[in-house]
Chain A
């Protein structure tokens, strides 16, 4: 029987071909929430309120995939397994994909393109506004996710893509705000986000601490402080 021991899993270093296969598999897995909605739709099994069901499902999956995207760096930091980082761009784009479908469901199926109503809804209701802002903030990240833009933006690319943390916070706020009284589901996702961010902060702190000079320099000049670099 084929088995992977713990150490071989860590040492697993996929070749280019294997990465391509893993990416293809990830692509299909990430599509299943959408395929499921189509299947349920054909079975006329989208509950008594199909529009709300589809809208919520797409929004929930956008949040889940965002959390997956944000988990790849902590995974590397904790285990030294770094190849999943190569899935991060696709994961991020899938989050954008589901967020767009969620928004499309809202303006098309839910509000049937009644622009006056939609504008009023976004401006007047903070939970709609915060969700809409999260989507808008994702656009520059999606646009600059290709290799060309990464090369062109250089150091700024990293800074720009730190927006993802704000997007995550806005996305979860959007969820908290819409729930009527049972906060268990948004709470679960918030706990996961806090855990993922704590890992990053821990490693950021560790690196910062290790780079600090142990003894002040003799001349009395202190070494220039190293600004903590946020991993993204």
Chain B
């Protein structure tokens, strides 16, 4: 056959056969990347191929806390999470934390203590009998849940740590593992995440170290293997996946205080009368409602005023937000 016209396609422009044969996979991959990179408002519905296994906690005591509350579903508690180490969208932590390894785990105890030490998570489980505590959780963004935590009173852990008289504050430092936490590769917060409490807040019987929820070992996206729960404060106070507990004499600067000093204070007590600079805190949306479920009123100290109100007598809560 005689080719009379030279092709205007350069040899370098011809797609290699291997690429051509895989064009459908390429398109799929490209499409997936685009979908995955679009924000939560748009198309953030992700398939969850890997299903983490669920393990029952064999023994814990039931308590009267929150007996009157209607529990938020397990599915909602474990798919709607703020855990920026696994991504900033609330649907990110569940799929992104699948590869996270919460065992083996040890926690370092340091600062103003009789003797600095490292304790394994298994030993922490033995410090005090585990209890179920049903608590309301109010996020600073204006939504809330009711969560049946399993954990131990932080007071027991503090006694075990033996702080000295100089200890006035307690700081909690989370893990920041680049290999298993994709969010840590983005400098959105000053990693590692840290939070802190005044020692008397930490000793309050309501404050717990949670190691489980719904009678099961804590899922990764909820802060496995151990996270702080302070039910009268906004949710961001509850540091997750804690690796270090430090006793200090000065008030620590926390990650969110550094990120927005006029928006997130050290105390972060739930308070419907003190507005966040950008939004009102007077009401909240309880997760689990449908499209036509109205908001509910936010309560002072998230409804725990009787238990913790006395901690703040004489303190100007408007200034110390």
Contacts and interface: CB of A to CB of B under 8 A. Distances in A.
Interface of A: 40-41, 45-54, 56-57, 59-61, 64, 109-112, 117, 120-121, 124-127, 177-178, 180-182, 184-185
Given A49-B143, A50-B291, A181 B285 contact: no
Contact of B42 (A40, A50, A57, A125): A57
B273 interface: no
A181 B295 contact: no
25 contacts: A46-B291, A47-B80, A47-B91, A48-B79, A49-B90, A50-B290, A51-B285, A51-B291, A52-B285, A53-B41, A57-B41, A57-B42, A60-B41, A60-B42, A61-B42, A109-B291, A109-B292, A117-B282, A121-B280, A125-B280, A177-B278, A178-B278, A180-B141, A182-B84, A182-B88
Nearest to A109: B291
Contacts of A40: 45
Nearest to B287: A48
Contacts of A46: 291
B90 A59 contact: no
A60 B42 CA distance: 7
A41 B143 CA distance: 20
Contact of B80 (A49, A60, A177, A180): A49
Interface in B16-51: 39-42, 45
A45 B45 contact: yes
Interface residues of B, number: 34
B295 A56 contact: no
B177 interface: no
Given A45-B45, A48-B79, A54-B291, 7 more contacts: A46-B291, A49-B80, A49-B90, A49-B285, A56-B41, A109-B292, A117-B282
A51 B252 CA distance: 36
Nearest to B76: A48
Nearest to A59: B41
Interface in B135-192: 141, 143, 186, 188-189
B288 interface: yes
Given A49-B285, A120-B280, A125-B279, A56 B40 contact: yes
